[in-house]
A and B are shown apart, each in its own frame.
Chain A
Amino acid sequence: MSADEIKALYLRELHKIAPEVDLNEIDPAVDLREQIDLDSMDILNLAVAIHEATGVDIPEADYPQMTTVNGCIAYLGAR
């Protein structure tokens, strides 16, 4: 997957989890837990959704890398 495809996937799944958030204003470098108040359940759901879309198994220890848009692009790009 290209970086753009990963980003689009991530934002699409984020929109399902936090539909009230304006995706145009997301800073891809900032932790979403601080930026839009995501909690551990949201991060887990994001990991599940990305797993289901890509087949990549994301161990729990790697969840911290899923909390920014850029982090997820780097993580999935390397897998």
Chain B
Amino acid sequence: MADFLMPSLGADMEFGTVLQWLVKPGDAVKRGDIVAVVDTEKATIEVEIFQTGVVQKIVVPEGEKVPVGTLLAVLAVNGEAPAAAPPEAKPKPAAPPPPKAVAAPPPPPPVIAKPPAPKPAAPHRLHVSPLAMRIALDLKVDLATVTGTGPDGAITKADVERAAKAPKAPAPPVEVKPAAPTPAGAPAKPAIAPIDHHAAMRKVIAAAMARSKREIPHYYLGTQIDMSRAMAWLTAENLKRPVTERLLYSVLLIKAVALAIKEVPELNGFWIDGAFKRSEAVHVGVAISIRQGGLIAPAIHDVEKKSLSEIMVNLRDLVKRVRAGVLRSSEIADATITVTSLGEQGVETVFGVIYPPQVALVGFGKIVERPWASGGMVGARPVVMASLSGDHRASDGHRGGLFLAAVDRLLQEPEKL
């Protein structure tokens, strides 16, 4: 018999909500199968199971929010005869109180409508839960036509499903919502308040980053890397590839980090209970921003063993799923080092904050053309600033410097990556 518990999907996850079971009692499962979809503060996660067996009992029903470590389901493992029903010991935490019907706040004093701000005004962003977004994609619902009933007008799963069922009417012109809420006749709250992912994600990031700055004695190193060889190789390589198989330069950076880390292994792993636990596998967390705000750094597994093409496929898939709000449990929980590339926002240098319990974060800025002296000659070269934020409990600046030097060296031979 084996217990399947609510996993901890990141250092700061305390609760998860079972959105959906993908298995039922009697189903055979094997290690790595996705058995449930769980909503956390940060994202909707497809949870994989770590044992092979037969599902015997589902303990926590769909829709229930439970703490990390709660028994979710019971498995009969390897040849075990499905035993008599286990005792009904259901460690069920008190159900959260139903959302209170809050009296509408008094209407704000009337304000004179301001003329629209001069251009360029960013388009209005819809407030959508990741799950709703995914369902909208599946059901081909145009989110712009959906009226949100969640907090702050957020579009929820139920809203999308309602819209999908509604007869196809010509889309009404989208009105820009007035700034002031309508106090009278406020729409009734739905029975189950959906998670406000944006606010919840801010809280999770706040907790993780505050912990990082409180506990981790960071040191910071940076070095400029000449990218002319890497970029020339990439341009030539992409010319040979069909559009569907082209590489982004970030893939070269991720691979170079994974190979360099094998030379300086004290940057790869976790600081747990006062000691460094080195990881043999190199799972590179890639910081991916979410356009409505926030970020997630899911892992690409065993990067050092993968080809650039394989890493590109993984990266593309991850970005897609981060933005759709659906990740797998193994990707969220087990990055051994993180890479962040803020270059696209135009900054040249990143001073990163380590994501605990990891012990290092590698940052890359924008690739810029700079005067570069080499062999007594000055020329213009594409240059990137690579930085390392290291945990001084696990490594020292000297070793960190060797790591950045290795990244530089590896990027000078892009064809070997």
| CB-based contact A41/B243 at 8 Å | no
Bound CA span A22–B243, Å = 27
B292 at the interface (CB under 8 A from A): yes
| CB-based contact B291/A60 at 8 Å | no
Binds B, one of A2-10, A24-32, A71-79: A24-32
Bound CA span A57–B69, Å = 51
A20: chain B residues at CB < 8 Å are 125-126, 128, 133, 143, 291-292
With A20-B125, A25-B123 already in contact, the answer to whether A48 and B244 are too (CB < 8 A) is yes
Give 30 pairs: A residue, B residue, CB < 8 Å, sorted on A: A15-B142, A17-B323, A19-B128, A19-B136, A19-B324, A20-B125, A20-B133, A21-B125, A21-B126, A22-B174, A23-B142, A23-B144, A33-B344, A35-B120, A35-B122, A36-B123, A36-B291, A37-B291, A39-B344, A40-B250, A41-B315, A44-B246, A44-B316, A45-B320, A47-B243, A51-B243, A52-B244, A57-B242, A57-B243, A60-B239
Which residues of chain B from 234 to 271 have a CB within 8 Å of any chain A CB?
A: 235, 238-239, 242-244, 246, 248, 250
Nearest first, the 7 A-B pairs at minimum CB distance are: A25-B123, A51-B243, A24-B174, A39-B344, A60-B238, A41-B319, A22-B144
Which A positions have Cβ atoms within 8 angstroms of B? 15-27, 30, 33-37, 39-41, 44-45, 47-48, 51-52, 57-60
Bound CA span A35–B235, Å = 27
| CB-based contact A18/B242 at 8 Å | no
| CB-based contact B137/A22 at 8 Å | no
A26: chain B residues at CB < 8 Å are 123
Q: Tell me the smallest distance from the CB of B157 to a CB of chain A, in Å.
A: 14
Bound CA span A51–B289, Å = 26
A33: chain B residues at CB < 8 Å are 344
B122: chain A residues at CB < 8 Å are 35-36
B320: chain A residues at CB < 8 Å are 45
Q: Tell me the smallest distance from the CB of B36 to a CB of chain A, in Å.
A: 24
Bound CA span A37–B295, Å = 14
B398 at the interface (CB under 8 A from A): no
Q: A19-B133, A19-B143, A22-B174 are in contact. List 20 more A-B contacts (CB 8 A).
A: A15-B142, A17-B323, A18-B323, A19-B136, A19-B324, A20-B126, A21-B126, A22-B125, A25-B123, A25-B124, A26-B123, A27-B119, A35-B122, A37-B291, A41-B315, A44-B248, A45-B320, A57-B242, A60-B235, A60-B239
Which residues of chain B from 279 to 332 have a CB within 8 Å of any chain A CB?
A: 289, 291-292, 315-316, 319-320, 323-324
Q: Tell me the smallest distance from the CB of A39 to a CB of chain B, in Å.
A: 5
A19: chain B residues at CB < 8 Å are 128, 133, 136-137, 143, 324
Which residues of chain B from 103 to 140 have a CB within 8 Å of any chain A CB?
A: 119-120, 122-126, 128, 133, 136-137
| CB-based contact A22/B126 at 8 Å | yes
With A37-B291, A40-B344, A44-B248 already in contact, the answer to whether A58 and B126 are too (CB < 8 A) is no
Bound CA span A15–B145, Å = 13
A44: chain B residues at CB < 8 Å are 246, 248, 316
| Chain A residue at minimal CB-CB distance from B292 | A20
Bound CA span A26–B121, Å = 10
With A19-B136, A41-B316, A45-B316 already in contact, the answer to whether A51 and B244 are too (CB < 8 A) is yes
